[in-house]
Amino acid sequence: MADLQLDEPEPEVADDGVWLTCIECGETFAPFEGIRYTCDSCGGLLEVRYADLPTFEDFDSAAIADGVWRYDAALPFEEGVSLPEGGTPLHDVPRLEDDLGVERLRIKHEGMNPTGSFKDRGMTVGVRVAEKVGVDRLACASTGNTSAALSAYGARADLETLVLLPAGKVAAGKIAQASLHGARILEVDGNFDRCLDIVQDLADRGEAYLLNSLNPFRLEGQKTIGLEILEQFHAEEGAYPDRIVLPVGNAGNTAALYKAFRELVESGALDESDVPKLTGVQAAGSAPMVEAIEEGWEGIERWEDVETIATAIRIGNPVNAPKALPGIRETGGTAVAVSDEEITAAQRDLAGEGVGVEPASAASVAGLRKLRHEGVIEADEQVVCLTTGHLLKDPDAAAAAGSEPEPVPDETDAVLDHLAE
């Protein structure tokens, strides 16, 4: 990794060893005074910085199952608004591992979080910050999972929650969650990126506290995915994974995992050579990050028209691209686009090993298959695929990918006859 950029001296604005730094111009800000999501001077993305960076010994609670707050030494607080979250399984998938022909394949299933996706890890920190800075209303744009998580954590904190969703493009389970947790749901006649434009406008006008991944505190919670993978994999396999393959939408996870690894390298806990290669997967119908990597561009170009069965990653303007593109490049990773057919096939592959995921999550395994086929990922690699959301999030996609129920009469003999057919 060329430039870790984490070694700046603690600025005067720091609060208890925590501050915000602009990744573009380096300006620093007090973390909890005033509300800002981007740099006042240049509009660049902000990153949370710490005077003390942790080593693995600082993660001292008893078990991985303790989840996000096991990693409080890497976070701005000792506790958050918690349901609780994290501590997700790292599944073995022996048949898929064999079929794909890699030395080791494990599945980090973030669908096992309280609202069924990794977003909970970000919200436990983000909603805690909302409490600290004292806001009346939380808001997000969402392809579904962010809204489900924000609604639940907003309800937990007893804060008003507003979610803006692209009309007709959000899976049923996610709308049901936002609805029952009591969020006000606005269905926008436009795609996710337009919803986020509007939420940013609302936030700039002081109408709501934005809790998309543009909010740097969200990514602090999501860092714990990377910390957990390293600890779990090392405990069970005796080494760190060579590569982490993950679906990419707004590119928050790619940015968050990269930051987790940079901080560990900076503290001396992780050797640079042990940092896993971050490998992003997008749906072919919404792949601006893949385009930027393939073309060698410094930044992405926004895609106005996006379409995919994986509605969670139907995103044409990934806001975290300035943090995530270096994450992919500096770790020696890559990015690949997969078709909807490849995504559905991977969803079936995972389900066949008992791991139920939504389409966007299956993109990681589809991407691994494609890169393995192309020889980019080699047979001797130890790989973790991140599956980001639970199968029940999108029951329609699951039913369409699965088998049809077979009608039978209510007689045992008739059932046996049917089975014998």
Which of 80, 249, 285, 367 is close enough to bind ligand PLP by CB under 6 A?
Answer: 249
x-or-dash string of contact with ligand LJ64HWYM, 131-150, rule CB under 6 A:
---------x-xxxxx----
* Helix, strand, coil % over all residues of the chain, rounded to 5: 45, 15, 40
Tell me phi and psi for residue 4, to 5 degrees: -75, -30
Measured CA to CA, the distance from residue 306 to residue 159 in angstroms comes to: 33
Part in contact with ligand LJ64HWYM (CB under 6 A); list of ranges 16-24, 73-81, 89-97, 246-254? 246-254
String of DSSP letters for 213-255: TTSHHHHHHHHHHHHHHHHHHHHHHSS--SEEEEE-SSSHHHH
Tell me phi and psi for residue 360, to 5 degrees: -55, -35
Smallest distance, ligand LJ64HWYM to C-beta of residue 249, A: 4
What type of residue is 4? Answer: L
Which of 76, 173, 226, 247 is close enough to bind ligand PLP by CB under 6 A?
Answer: 247
Which of positions 119-148 make contact with ligand PLP (CB under 6 A)?
Answer: 143, 145
Question: Is 213 near ligand LJ64HWYM (CB under 6 A)?
Answer: yes
251 binds, among ligand PLP, ligand LJ64HWYM, none (CB under 5 to 8 A by kind): ligand PLP
String of DSSP letters for 28-57: EE-SSSS--SB-TTT-PBEEEEESS---GG
What radius of gyration, in Å, describes the C-alpha atoms of the chain? 21
Tell me phi and psi for residue 201, to 5 degrees: -60, -45
Question: Is 250 near ligand LJ64HWYM (CB under 6 A)?
Answer: yes
248 binds, among ligand LJ64HWYM, ligand PLP, none (CB under 5 to 8 A by kind): ligand PLP
Which of 260, 283, 312, 368 is close enough to bind ligand PLP by CB under 6 A?
Answer: 312
Q: What does each C-alpha distance from 346 to 35, 326, 342, 349 come to in angstroms?
A: 41, 28, 6, 5
Burial 105-124 (b: 16+ CB within 10 A, else e): bbbbbbbbbbbbbbbbbbbb
142 binds, among ligand LJ64HWYM, ligand PLP, none (CB under 5 to 8 A by kind): ligand LJ64HWYM
Question: Is 249 near ligand LJ64HWYM (CB under 6 A)?
Answer: yes
Question: Is 358 near ligand PLP (CB under 6 A)?
Answer: yes
**Using the 8-state DSSP alphabet, how is residue 320 labeled?**
T
Part in contact with ligand PLP (CB under 6 A); list of ranges 232-240, 251-259, 264-272, 329-337? 251-259
Question: Is 250 near ligand PLP (CB under 6 A)?
Answer: yes
Nearer to ligand LJ64HWYM, 82 or 308 (CB): 308
Helix pair 340-351, 359-373: axis angle to 10 deg: 100
Q: Which two tokens stand for residue 131?
A: 């409490």
Question: Is 312 near ligand LJ64HWYM (CB under 6 A)?
Answer: yes
Known binding residue 252? Answer is yes
279 binds, among ligand PLP, ligand LJ64HWYM, none (CB under 5 to 8 A by kind): none
Q: What does each C-alpha distance from 193 to 146, 205, 258, 317 come to in angstroms?
A: 14, 19, 24, 6
Question: Is 388 near ligand PLP (CB under 6 A)?
Answer: yes
Q: In terms of Cα–Cα distance, which of 123, 119, 118, 94 is closest to 106?
A: 94
Part in contact with ligand PLP (CB under 6 A); list of ranges 45-53, 201-209, 247-255, 257-265? 247-255
Q: In terms of Cα–Cα distance, which of 243, 404, 218, 241 is closest to 327?
A: 243
Which of 241, 252, 288, 326 is close enough to bind ligand PLP by CB under 6 A?
Answer: 252
Residue numbers at the binding site for ligand LJ64HWYM (CB under 6 A): 119, 140, 142-146, 212-213, 249-250, 252, 312
Annotated binding site for pyridoxal 5'-phosphate: 145, 249-253, 388
Residue numbers at the binding site for ligand PLP (CB under 6 A): 117, 143, 145, 247-254, 312-313, 358, 360-361, 388-389
